[in-house]
Amino acid sequence: MDAMDGTPSVHPSLRKRKIVHIDMDAFYASIEIRDNPELRGKPIVVGGSPNSRGVVCTASYEARKFGVRSAMACSRAARLCPQAVFLPPRFAAYVEVSRQIREIFQTYTSLIEPVSLDEAYLDVTNNPQGLYAVKVARGIQQEVLKETGLTCSAGVAPNKLVAKIASDLRKPAGFTVVLPELVREFVGSLTVRKLNGVGPVAEQRLAQLGIRFCRDAWDSVRQQLLSDLGGYGQWLILATQGIDDSEVCTNWERKSYGREETFATDILDIAVLDAELRSLAESVGEGLAQQSLRAKRVCVKVKYEDFVSVTRQACLPEAICSAEAFFELGCILLRRTEAGRRRVRLLGMSVSALVNDGDGAGVGEGEI
Ligand code: TTP
Ligand code: MG
């Protein structure tokens, strides 16, 4: 679609917003290296120990060269990179850095959507200082480095979808700007898997339709095939052109907050599981308190020995931050699973419907 004068027309939604996406580089691993400079230059794996059945939280870029990735079994990581240094996570340190970077974001705008401890979207369309989006992103990178000693990558684009892709493009310390006029070509050249919303299953399904790169979805025949997929297909038609009209949601701090533990051997004894649940609840309570958050919903996750997982959740009468209350509700939820009758490989607790201390009641109703 070209305009009469030959200049390509730009979809109107690409003129509405200026979004910055910030993502810290190798977050947990970089903090470990910062706090122990002897680790610099070495392959670092943060997560379970190499001979445990835990998983990798993250790996330094040196370890990634060997193929080590987040969520991989630690035993596999140890085989791929035997010289790697394995470190347990120190969540309190990561939460503290997360707080510091959010403080920096807030000096530029209050329109912030934190996605995880190390990642956030900022809507800087009308930022109070009247700065260009590029200037905001550069300023944040410099201040984050100065305040925390860590690098982050930034993406600047007309929407969240493209800003996230952009921040990931030139890690570490990457800086990528995608102007509205270039969005379509930029996204078109990427594989569909780069879109936040296309996972391995959708990737395969799209490949069957002949869609590997985003631009493969631009012709009318394939767009018809996609629209037959319903709402997700409609989203794909737009996303493959770099169009996304979603707003930066400022009214939640974090979607959920949790901990989980993969056991060295599968556990049948419910009393042992209760004790594990108590320590998970304590850790969750501590993490929430550090972030001055309270939670209303509690979720328990159980993975049985055959890797089948179930979750059970319920709401507390009001948003609170109490390890004891999380534990008590957790015990009730655990008894709604087959724990005690089937061996359990992993136990997790997470809390959601989070509110800041001082805010009103939490959201959501639930069964108990
Ligand atoms: P990411 O931003 O996905 O990864 P990263 O910051 O380690 O590396 P990158 O430079 O590619 O951004 O996740 C942020 C942190 O979240 C990561 O350091 C550890 C944690 N995490 C997990 O615990 N498990 C996971 O599966 C993933 C993906 C991340
Ligand atoms: Mg990151």
CA 23 to centroid of ligand 2, rounded, Å: 5
- Overall average pLDDT of the 51-67 stretch: 94
Task: Assess whether the C-beta atom of 4 lies below 6 angstroms from ligand 1.
Answer: no
Task: Assess whether the C-beta atom of 24 lies below 6 angstroms from ligand 1.
Answer: yes
Confidence (pLDDT) at 366: 29
Confidence (pLDDT) at 234: 87
Task: Assess whether the C-beta atom of 25 lies below 6 angstroms from ligand 1.
Answer: yes
Q: Answer yes or no: is pLDDT of 252 > 80.
A: no
| This model's pTM is above 0.75 | no
Q: Which ligand is nearest to the CA of 89?
A: 1
User: What mean pLDDT value characterizes the chain?
Assistant: 90
Confidence (pLDDT) at 364: 33
What's the CA gap between 239 and 243, in Å, rounded? 5
Confidence (pLDDT) at 365: 31
Alpha carbon 274 to its chain centroid, in Å, reads 29
Tokens found for residue 143: 């201040």
Tokens found for residue 204: 């395969």
Confidence (pLDDT) at 367: 27
Question: What is the band of 8 on the pLDDT scale with cuts at 50, 70, 90?
Answer: low
Tokens found for residue 269: 């004894």
What's the CA gap between 59 and 247, in Å, rounded? 32
User: 253 versus 35: which is more confidently predicted?
Assistant: 35
Distances (CA, A) of 224 to 21, 132, 195, 210, 312: 32, 39, 20, 13, 39
CA 118 to centroid of ligand 2, rounded, Å: 6
CA 84 to centroid of ligand 1, rounded, Å: 17
Q: Answer yes or no: is pLDDT of 4 > 90.
A: no
The preferred substitution site among 22, 57, 283 for testing ligand 1, maximizing ligand atoms within 8 Å of CB, is: 57
Nearest to 190 by CA among 226, 153, 216, 209: 216
Question: What is the band of 249 on the pLDDT scale with cuts at 50, 70, 90?
Answer: confident
Tokens found for residue 155: 């993406």
Q: Answer yes or no: is pLDDT of 251 > 80.
A: no
Task: Assess whether the C-beta atom of 260 lies below 6 angstroms from ligand 1.
Answer: no
Q: Which ligand is nearest to the CA of 32?
A: 1
Of 13-17, 52-56, 110-114, 225-229, highest mean pLDDT: 13-17
Tokens found for residue 97: 């850095």
- Overall average pLDDT of the 189-203 stretch: 89
| Core vs surface per residue 167-185: b (16+ CB within 10 A) or e | bbeebeebbbbbebebbbe
Is 260 considered catalytic here?
A: no
Digit-coded pLDDT (tens) for 300-327: 999 999 988 899 888 787 889 999 999 9
Q: Which of 32, 62, 119, 276 is catalytic?
A: 119
